[in-house]
Structure 1
Amino acid sequence: MSIPAKRSIQDREISPPASIRRSKRRRLSASQDRSTVSSQDHSTPPSPESITLYSWNVNGIAPFLQPSVASYFKPSDGKDAGQGTARASLRDFLRRHAWPTILFLQEVKINPEDIKTMRAVEKAVARQTTEPADAYDYKVHFCLPSDKFNARGFGRKVYGVCSIVRADFSERYVDKVRPVSWDAEGRFLVIETKATERMPKLAFINVYAVNGTDNPYKDPEAGEVVGTRHVNIARSRIDGHPNLRTFPKQHCLNRADFEAKFFPDSTKQHKMPAESAAASVKDVKTKGGALGMIDTFRYLHPEQKSYTYYPRSKTFGDSCDRVDMILVSEALKGNLREAGMHETPSERGPSDHVPLYVRLDFHDGTVDSS
């Protein structure tokens, strides 16, 4: 999940989920705290006409760091790789999709002490001397887990997000990149931009949400169970194939909780299942009302059936869900120009998710707050 938001509603520190609000995040070690950048001084930088943001749950970064020549994937040209198989290469991905402004990766699965792999990611997206002059360079930022109770399995190669920002945009418009104090699992990374004559101050939030379960959540300091783990859901019937998951009941509660917290009047706008609508009234309590976000894909494509998650255990398309989303605040509704996903086996590559994207346009300086 990726959330570009107008900075005015992000001026306060982002609040953690209620289940972990009592536990504060330990300070990252020097090897982990790689998320702050200092931009060059541009007193009045010109605004970019548009920002293209891609988001992709890669289900492990390792396959994407293989040299392109040695990759078992077939090279592909063009923006949509069709039904062929694209290379498992981050650089190829950036090139194929016309050098997006920002690429958010989730579930990178890097051990927080593995500097070698972090350097390999940086190298994988950097501009090569053999490339043409119009090829772009990229900067890389990580937020990796430090939680010894909730993120200790698989040699600590779990969770983790990576934000990849085009270097020219980073140098001119990025104010800072930071984690949030209460996240110890490598799930949140925030990019804050400078305001310009046409673009407001923005916060881009790279989020890897927990899968929708009722598994216990432990206090990251003391280790005792303080809540459950549940966020990641498909929103409504149109977002699940062949069916929307309603069992166990926790899926319905999670869905209702998500709708109530992020979207105003969602039961009317998005055709929530009856059981979720009932749960939102009976079982879900939301303090302070909905955040008032826009689900970019559903806003531009209200009736289209498209999905982002395709389990590897099934034939592509037999079972799928739209659980990955790019949300924007209501104030950016008028700047939204494109939203979609590259829904093919080739674009999925080694992952079980496909990449999704959004384009925001700031060419005339208009921000729609209606």
Structure 2
Amino acid sequence: MERPISPPPKRRKLSRSDAKHGETDDPNLLTIYSWNVNGIQPLIQQSITSFFSPQGSDQKGNDTSLRGFLRRHGWPTFLYLQEVKISPNDLASIRALEKAVRRDKKTGDIEPDYVAHVNLPSDKFNARGYGRKLYGVCSIIRQDFADRWVEQVRPVDWDLEGRFLVTELKAASNNQRLALINAYMVNGTDNPYKDAESGKVTGTRHDRKLEVHKLLAAECRKLETNGFAVILAGDINVAAAPIDGFPNLRTFPPQHCVNRADFKRRFLEGETSSSSSSRLSEQASEKQSGATQQDSNSTEPSGLGMVDTFRHLHPDTSGYTYYPRGRSFF
């Protein structure tokens, strides 16, 4: 089996790095952090060492909790988590997560409060392993911002794997509205994908990945039609260009080339899909992948023309954003 689903994490706390992070005190600055946590349990469990800390000692410098993360990053507006890996029946862990981001009553109003929204898998055919501790996203929003600006936080009706949460904001003074999507995109594999209602095999996870691209693009387009500007954040599971891959782009099996081309066509390009699809298929062929792109007619909507913000700001920066749990990174 190619790239199997990662299991729930071991029950251990994470160490933190000594990296300095800037404060975000500007009330007009909206800040978003996204983090694939590969299991939320280590971040919501109370460390055993906390029971033996000297009375009155300051543990904030070594705090590896979610509140500690938020504090070190200057109390961001949004923290988007992917792969929280909570069973939808595990109400205790859901409550623990909600509590983990709340302000300690002892701090009063010194620190901001947060609220957590979760979307967990309800698909009984495609999210069954590891006691259903698979996938799942969590959108953590600073309470003062949520009270003033958040209109609703919702899932999407075309996904039952707990991969998406849409936060719709109220209109600002210029009537501009903003929608933010916390996404954990599908990893394409040759494993079977089953219809979420009937359980019948309808294709592979590669096929489902392409379908999700199409459905998500339609969701973004619908939001734009309703007056929203759209921010898509999270684990996108696509490296768009060689500089984005580590150590290089995935070109085998060949379907990865097709998946990449499809994502770029739908989200990053603004041309008609027929011309961009043809060009990207040619690029895939040049890699001698043997992959074929499905023919698209010109009536299909053009790409959304979205901007890869990191690549826009750092056009020549290469790097890798996954770190093993034993390595300090946050």
TM-score in terms of structure 2 length: 0.71
The alignment covers a number of residue pairs equal to: 257
What amino acid sits opposite 2:262 in the alignment?
D
Indicate yes or no: 2:293 matched with 1:283: yes
Q: 1:70 aligns with which of 42, 45, 49?
A: 49
Residues 58, 105 of structure 1: 8 Å contact kept: yes
Change (3 A) 1:272 1:164: farther
Q: Deviations over 1:5-55 (max 9, x none)?
A: xxxxxxxxxxxxxxxxxxxxxxxxxxxxxxxxxxxxxxxxxx951210111
Partner of residue 250, structure 1? 255
Secondary structure in structure 1 of the residue aligned to 2:107: coil
Residues 127, 137 of structure 1: 8 Å contact kept: yes
Q: In the aligned structure 2, how far is the partner of 1:92 from the partner of 1:272?
A: 46
Partner of residue 13, structure 2? none
Q: In the aligned structure 2, how far is the partner of 1:150 from the partner of 1:118?
A: 21
Secondary structure in structure 1 of the residue aligned to 2:188: coil
Report which stretch shifted further, 230-239 or 152-161: 230-239
Residues 154, 166 of structure 2: 8 Å contact kept: yes
The alpha carbon displacement at 1:309 in A equals 2.4
Partner of residue 308, structure 1? 321
Where relative contact order (Cα < 8 A, 6+ residues apart) is larger, the structure is 1
Residues 256, 276 of structure 1: 8 Å contact kept: no
Q: In the aligned structure 1, how far is the partner of 2:137 from the partner of 2:295?
A: 29
Q: In the aligned structure 1, how far is the partner of 2:281 from the partner of 2:71?
A: 38
Partner of residue 52, structure 1? 31
The alpha carbon displacement at 1:311 in A equals 5.7
Ranges in structure 1 where 5+ consecutive residues have no aligned partner: 1-46, 78-85, 317-344, 349-370
What amino acid sits opposite 1:275 in the alignment?
A
Change (3 A) 1:87 1:255: farther
The alpha carbon displacement at 1:70 in A equals 3.0
Change (3 A) 1:265 1:201: closer
Change (3 A) 1:276 1:138: farther
Secondary structure in structure 1 of the residue aligned to 2:328: helix
Partner of residue 181, structure 1? 157
Q: In the aligned structure 1, how far is the partner of 2:286 from the partner of 2:195?
A: 31
Change (3 A) 1:307 1:285: farther
What amino acid sits opposite 2:121 in the alignment?
P
The equivalences for 1:146-185 within 5 A come to: 146-185=122-161
Partner of residue 106, structure 2? 130
Q: In the aligned structure 1, how far is the partner of 2:191 from the partner of 2:266?
A: 21
Change (3 A) 1:51 1:277: farther
The alpha carbon displacement at 1:148 in A equals 0.6
The equivalences for 1:315-326 within 5 A come to: none
Change (3 A) 1:188 1:65: same
Q: In the aligned structure 1, how far is the partner of 2:102 from the partner of 2:282?
A: 46
Residues 120, 161 of structure 2: 8 Å contact kept: yes
Residues 212, 233 of structure 1: 8 Å contact kept: no
Partner of residue 16, structure 1? none
Q: In the aligned structure 1, how far is the partner of 2:282 from the partner of 2:43?
A: 38
Ranges in structure 2 where 5+ consecutive residues have no aligned partner: 1-25, 51-58, 210-236
Residues 235, 272 of structure 1: 8 Å contact kept: no
Q: Deviations over 1:187-211 (max 9, x none)?
A: 1111100011157211111111111
What amino acid sits opposite 1:135 in the alignment?
E
Partner of residue 259, structure 1? 264
Change (3 A) 1:285 1:176: farther
Q: Deviations over 1:156-206 (max 9, x none)?
A: 111111111100000000001111111111011111000111572111111
Residues 149, 170 of structure 2: 8 Å contact kept: yes
Report which stretch shifted further, 293-302 or 191-200: 191-200
Structure possessing the higher radius of gyration over alpha carbons? 2
The percent identity for this pair of structures is 56
Secondary structure in structure 2 of the residue aligned to 1:130: helix
Secondary structure in structure 1 of the residue aligned to 2:166: strand
The alpha carbon displacement at 1:272 in A equals 11
Q: CA RMSD in A?
A: 2.9
The alpha carbon displacement at 1:306 in A equals 2.1
Q: In the aligned structure 2, how far is the partner of 1:245 from the partner of 1:76?
A: 41
Partner of residue 307, structure 2? 294
Q: In the aligned structure 2, how far is the partner of 1:69 from the partner of 1:98?
A: 26
Partner of residue 236, structure 1? 241
Residues 65, 88 of structure 1: 8 Å contact kept: no
Structure number with the higher strand fraction is 1
TM-score in terms of structure 1 length: 0.63
Indicate yes or no: 2:196 matched with 1:220: yes
Change (3 A) 1:126 1:239: same
The equivalences for 1:69-148 within 5 A come to: 70=49, 77=61, 87-131=63-107, 133-148=109-124
Secondary structure in structure 1 of the residue aligned to 2:67: helix
